[in-house]
Amino acid sequence: MRKKVIEIYQSGKGYKAISKALGLPRTTRKSNTVFQEKNIIPTVKYGGGSVMVWGCFAASGPGRLAVINGTMNSAVFQKILKENVQPSVCDLKLKRTWVLQQDNDPKHTSKSTSEWLKKNKMKTLEWPSQSPDLNPIEMLWHELKKVVHARKPSNVAELQQFCKDEWDKIPPQCCNRLIASYGKRLIAVVAAKGGPTSY
C-alpha cells in the first residue's frame, strides 16, 4: 500500500488558498488593545489583487507551479497538464507507475479532459466527490498562503512571484510527510463517516 501511495502524483489548483493572500486576515484581540501596533494590520491600497495557480507534487518534492490567467475551463486545464505534468514527472524522477490524483472538479472530469488524459496515457486515481480532508495538496496551499502573506505582496506581480518563490522552497520532506499521512487521513474520514476530520 505505501509504495502505491508514495507514487501518487498530486495535483490541484490553489486559487482558493492564494486568491485572498492580499486580503485582510482575521484577527482576534481584547477590546482595550484594538489600536496597539501589534493589532493593526496594514492593507494593500487600491483593491489588492489575486492570482490563480495550479500546482503538483509527489512524495519526492514539489513539481511545477503554473499561474493561470483568465478563466479556467477544460481546454485551459488540459494545456496546464500538457505543459507541467510530464516535465514535473521527469524533474521528480517518478517511476513509470505514477498515478495522477485530482479532485472531481468538472474541468478535471469533463469528457474532453477524460479523453485527453487517456490519449496522453495519464492514469488517474478514483476520488470521492467531496473529500478535502483526504486531499494532501490542501495543506500545501494553506502553508503557501501563510508564507506568501507574510511577505506582504503589494501588487499582483509580486504576489505571483512570491507564490513561485515559496513553492520552490517547499522541502521534499514536507511532501513526503503529506503523502505518508494519506492512510491516516483515509482512516479518519471513514471513522467520521465522510464528515469533517482534524485534517
The answer as to whether 51 is a domain residue is: yes
**Residue 197 is assigned to a structural domain of this protein:** no
Return d(Cα 32, Cα 7) in angstroms, integer. 53
Q: Which residues constitute the domain of residue 44?
A: 2-21+38-191
Q: What is the CATH number of the domain that holds 140?
A: 3.30.420.10
- Paired strand residues for 13: 54
In 3-state terms, what secondary structure has residue 29?
A: coil
The answer as to whether 169 is a domain residue is yes
pLDDT tens digits, residue range 62-90? 999 999 988 889 999 999 999 999 999 99
pTM above 0.75, yes or no: no
Contacts (Cβ under 8 Å, ≥6 apart) of 94: 7, 9, 58, 60
Query: Domains in the chain: how many in total?
Result: 1
Backbone angles phi, psi at 12, to 5 degrees: 180, 170
- Per residue in 103-156, pLDDT tens? 878 888 899 999 999 999 999 888 776 666 677 888 899 899 999 989 988 888
